[in-house]
Amino acid sequence: MSELEHLLTGAGAFAAPKAILEAIDPKLVLAKHPGSPHSIYEEVWHLAFWQQISLDWVRGIETPVPTHASAGFPTGAQIDGEPWDRLRQRFLEGAEDAAAMTKDAATLDRDIRCPSPPGHPTRTMTVREQLENLAAHNAYHLGRVVLLRQMNGAWPPPSGGFSW
């Protein structure tokens, strides 16, 4: 398993995404901790949203970037329409798809077009660069999930996780 694949799905530089998202009390998933702008659910929805856009770009689908950052977080109706277990699974399946893309060296070096926010030029990068970007974004937001779990006494998960 390559390091990039580890970062997307395994226990690379941090606990595996599957472990980070396991066994979270349903009340905690939707709770907003004082001082935190988003719940665990909202953080994971945001991850799944941007992960899908990244996978679209890798597949040659030039999905546009939202005009405002708020579009990257769920509305109340979106939260009501997708149970936590389904959202969690959707994110983990997308991460597996991304990790599978790391196994083909020829694909990793292929250039892709990545739309930018309105008013900025479309960027070109390799599949590898986009997957690295995705891994970094996922790590950032998964770290926020860990912090929310820690702040609520819900860390580490049953399968373990770094606690130092």
pTM: 0.95
Domain boundaries, the chain: 3-151
pLDDT number for residue 131: 97
* Higher-pLDDT residue of 68, 110: 110
Taking residues 107-119, what's their average pLDDT?
A: 93
pLDDT for 164 beyond 70: no
pLDDT for 159 beyond 90: no
Instruction: Specify whether domain 3-151 bears CATH 1.20.120.450.
Output: yes
Taking residues 14-41, what's their average pLDDT?
A: 94
What is the C-alpha separation between 52 and 75, in angstroms, rounded? 17
Percent of the chain with pLDDT over 90: 84
* Residue 6 pLDDT class (50, 70, 90 cuts): confident
